Chain A
Amino acid sequence: MRHTITILKWEMSKIINNWQKTLKVFLLPALLLLAAINVFPMLMNYLSTGSLQSRPVTVVDAPDSFVDYVDSNAKSSFYSFTWISEEEAEDLDETFAKEVTDKGGILVIFYATDKNTLVDFDSCVEKYYSRLANGESTRRLHMIAEIYHKGDYNSYLQAEQFNADLGEGYSSYLLEHLGQAYLDAGGGDRWDVDAFNPFSFVTDHRAVANLGAAGTIPSMMILLMYYCIYSLTAETLASQRQSGFLTKVYLSPISKKALLTGKALMVIFVGVISAVVTFFLLFISSWLNRSNSAYSLLPFGLFLTPSQLLAFFILLVVAAIMMAMLCFGITFMVRRMQDVIMNLQVPLVLLIFEFFGNMFRPSDALFAEYLIPVHNSIMAIRDIFKGTYSWWTILLVVFVNLVFAGELFIICLKSKDGMLHIAEEGGANDFGKSRK
């Protein structure tokens, strides 16, 4: 135990003393992925509009209330508005709508009718609320804002986003500013959420955010953690073995078990810390996602309950143990440094495929998937984010991973020369080259 702690302290001090490596292992991958996540909506915006600027919206015959609303709403800064008056609109030909939408823009047209006659939009709204307050019929009053888009999926998402950002809030704005008569008569929106209650604010966004995050965060976290564990294993085991330093340590009166455990603990500890740092960055990124673009991989309002966080943390630790033992096993089975690196990269490639697969996977995991080490952690974390997890599944995942990790640890312990710079089957410092 004492020797295990000595090895752990030594390995940790090497990480701390080498700030460049620490930066590389902890922050760089997380920051790069974070940047990629934030670039993704911009890229999609560019692909659909041909511009990296804010999304273009052309508004025809906008009522004064909508202009005031746009001026007072922070979310309007995500759009660049072109205002076309009723007079200007009369000069436009039939191809105008096509031109606007073909460029990826959104076209919004306002109009209101009273007994099938076009009337002023705001006056019509006032009349509507006044009649509601007096208990009169509003059947012949129509106030319509039509939103046009190109028709493809990307444009549809843009239009939906515009509606969510400004359309829904505008109806509440109309009630507050033009529906005074109705409000005075005791009317109001019975389903209105108390915006001053932080809890309702969080829960309002949580369902969408967590569901969105379930597609990206689980595989991303495991992918980044594997990258960290793989780099550390290559450094602490394969590289030290090749230089012979591991042999030097092994020649001291330390047991193989203590030496391996100390190194494994360092790799697992740093791997988990790196995952926690990554999650923290992703959490912050979600809450800073003010635009909450329809393409966002991390929607606004990501939030886990304490029990979800606990289950998530347990799964991270178990996945780290499993991945560390997988990397140790590979390093012990293969001798040449370049072979070790190549073999350690195979799971990395598989995890990248898994990342893209999960991003668009709508179905739940099959039971058999919970029996596949590492993959089962991704599936279980995904369940946590979707809110469909059960503690039995988590226990199963923990059990499966620990059994596999234990087996790999025993294989490493039984290896005759896995830690030495020389091999029993031959070769001094030449690692696998045939000996003459």
Chain B
Amino acid sequence: MISVNHVSKRYNKRDMVVNDVSFQVEKGTIFGLLGPNGAGKTTLMQMISTLLLPTSGIISICGLDTQASAQEIRKKIGFLTTEIKLDPLSTPNQLYSFFSELYDIPKEEIESRKQASFARFGITPFADKRIVELSTGMKQKISIVISLIHNPEVIIFDEPTNGLDILTSRQVMDYLLELRQKGCCVLLSTHIFSVAEQLCDEIAILVDGRIVDQGSASALTEKTGSKNFEEAFFKLYSEYHREG
């Protein structure tokens, strides 16, 4: 469903932020991008979600090219990043109605879908409060609900559990597993090992804009002869820098 082929991104004449990255994400799988800050995870996800244009390479989603069919692709993806904030003076109810109209959701379905989503994340008691009055965790839950308002086939989440308490993190992780179960294709970026290990079917280790290695958490652990996935990551990271 997501196909990234030799994609690179350079901002002006500066260094490559993403350098010749390729991977595929299939339907019903969760693919993780794991890397330190500044590795290029966010830039890569912004290119996949049609916000940025790659300097070279091709990205396609559901067979559609992100450069040629950006508007069509946006109907199929749900993109979440902590950089995108919701309107602070609006309420969850107002935001849900607004985005439902933008995504052309039939009017008769809006209310039932909203009630189900709000109940799922415990938003209902806060539905008429302004975003600015809500906690970070509640804001993140509302962002998730809004991002998935149109039941997208492809879900792109950038650091979905960033800044959340353990209970909310668990709730978000359970939801992602549920979406995989439903056959969605999930691409998520994280720098939290436990999240990557528990959720992802396949993980790409991204360092300085390059994919250092790729595979399941257990396969990468085994391949590097490490005791756990965290150790495997550090081995791969040190190896890359030794070679570099």
- Output the least CB separation between A413 and chain B (Å): 14
- B contact face: mostly helix, strand, loop, or mixed: loop
Inter-chain contacts of A17 with B (CB < 8 A): 89
Known: A251-B79, A253-B102, A422-B51. A435 touches B14 (CB 8 A): yes
Inter-chain contacts of A252 with B (CB < 8 A): 74, 99, 102-103
Answer yes or no: B68 CB below 8 A from chain A CBs.
Answer: no
CA distance A417 to B46 in the complex (A): 12
- Output the least CB separation between B91 and chain A (Å): 9
Interface string of B211-239 (1 = CB under 8 A from A): 00000000000000000000000000000
- Output the least CB separation between A202 and chain B (Å): 46
B83, A248: Cβ atoms closer than 8 Å: no
Inter-chain contacts of A421 with B (CB < 8 A): 83-84
Known: A6-B102, A252-B99, A254-B102. A425 touches B11 (CB 8 A): yes
Answer yes or no: A200 CB below 8 A from chain B CBs.
Answer: no
A253, B89: Cβ atoms closer than 8 Å: no
- A contact face: mostly helix, strand, loop, or mixed: loop
- Output the least CB separation between A66 and chain B (Å): 64
Inter-chain contacts of A248 with B (CB < 8 A): 84, 86, 146
Most chain A CB within 10 A, of B52, B74, B84, B99, is at B84
Answer yes or no: B120 CB below 8 A from chain A CBs.
Answer: no
- Output the least CB separation between A336 and chain B (Å): 16
Interface string of B71-82 (1 = CB under 8 A from A): 110110101010
Answer yes or no: A154 CB below 8 A from chain B CBs.
Answer: no
Answer yes or no: A426 CB below 8 A from chain B CBs.
Answer: yes
Answer yes or no: A255 CB below 8 A from chain B CBs.
Answer: yes
Inter-chain contacts of B171 with A (CB < 8 A): none
A420, B51: Cβ atoms closer than 8 Å: yes
Answer yes or no: B90 CB below 8 A from chain A CBs.
Answer: yes
- Output the least CB separation between A211 and chain B (Å): 45
Known: A6-B98, A252-B99, A252-B103. A247 touches B84 (CB 8 A): yes
Residue of A nearest to B85 (CB): A243
Q: Quick one: which of B42-56 are within 8 Å of A by CB?
A: 42-43, 46, 49-53
Interface string of B51-75 (1 = CB under 8 A from A): 1110000000000000000011011
Name the contact of A245 in the complex, choosing from B11, B79, B85 (C-beta under 8 A).
B85
Inter-chain contacts of A255 with B (CB < 8 A): 71
Residue of B nearest to A434 (CB): B14
B42, A244: Cβ atoms closer than 8 Å: no
B85, A426: Cβ atoms closer than 8 Å: no
- Interface residue tally for chain A (C-beta within 8 Å): 33
Answer yes or no: B101 CB below 8 A from chain A CBs.
Answer: yes
A14, B90: Cβ atoms closer than 8 Å: yes
Inter-chain contacts of B85 with A (CB < 8 A): 243-245
Taking residues whose C-beta sits less than 8 angstroms from the other chain, chain B's interface range is 35 or more
CA distance A240 to B86 in the complex (A): 9
A435, B11: Cβ atoms closer than 8 Å: yes
CA distance A416 to B87 in the complex (A): 23
Inter-chain contacts of A251 with B (CB < 8 A): 49-51, 74, 77, 79
Residue of B nearest to A253 (CB): B75
Answer yes or no: B198 CB below 8 A from chain A CBs.
Answer: no
Answer yes or no: A280 CB below 8 A from chain B CBs.
Answer: no
Residue of B nearest to A7 (CB): B102
Inter-chain contacts of A250 with B (CB < 8 A): 51
Answer yes or no: A10 CB below 8 A from chain B CBs.
Answer: yes
A245, B87: Cβ atoms closer than 8 Å: yes
CA distance A254 to B72 in the complex (A): 10
Known: A248-B146, A253-B102, A435-B14. A422 touches B46 (CB 8 A): yes
Most chain A CB within 10 A, of B53, B75, B88, B102, is at B102
Known: A426-B11, A435-B14. A6 touches B101 (CB 8 A): yes
Residue of A nearest to B99 (CB): A252
Known: A249-B102, A251-B49, A253-B103. A428 touches B83 (CB 8 A): yes
B12, A426: Cβ atoms closer than 8 Å: yes
Residue of B nearest to A256 (CB): B71
Inter-chain contacts of B51 with A (CB < 8 A): 247, 250-251, 420, 422
Please list 28 pairs of residues, one from A and one from B, whose beta carbons are closer than 8 Å in the complex, sorted by A's number.
A6-B98, A14-B89, A17-B89, A240-B87, A243-B87, A243-B88, A244-B81, A245-B86, A245-B87, A248-B86, A248-B146, A251-B49, A251-B79, A252-B74, A252-B99, A252-B102, A253-B103, A253-B104, A417-B52, A422-B51, A422-B52, A422-B83, A424-B11, A425-B11, A425-B12, A429-B83, A435-B17, A436-B38
